Amino acid sequence: MTRYIDADVLLLDLTYQKATFESVQGGRSGLFAKGVACGLDGAIQSVKNAEAEDVSPVKHGKWVEYVDDRWGASYYSCSECGKPPLKEERTNRQCLSNFCPNCGARMEE
């Protein structure tokens, strides 16, 4: 499974690591310091050059139950968009799917 990360957060972390390393080194310019700085610069550049995928955050929701006092029947709606789930064609009962068919939220158990 592909794992997506926030490139801006990663860049901030790498930049922070480089600045921290440079401050600890106190301006010394030995081979080790140059190697670490060069490695961090390479990582920063790689993240900047990486092609961005078109992804959106996963919404998480749950089916919220409410009871019609007049009939004593339970109905559900999505906690994210407020819309009801699909109904089974044969029985006309609400089908509590793993995803909201309206907004795409992933439903928790």
Q: Which residues in this chain contact Zn ion in the complex, by CB under 5 A?
A: 78, 80-81, 100, 102-103, 105
CB nearer Zn ion, residue 45 or residue 74: 74
Question: Nearer Cβ to Zn ion, position 14 or 80?
Answer: 80
By C-beta, is 37 or 104 nearer to Zn ion? 104
Contacts of 11 (CB under 8 A, 6+ apart): 44, 47, 48
Compute the distance between CA of residue 3 and CA of residue 64 in angstroms, rounded to an integer.
30
Q: Minimum Å distance from CB 106 to Zn ion?
A: 10
Sequence-ordered alpha helix ranges (H) in 26-70 = 31-49
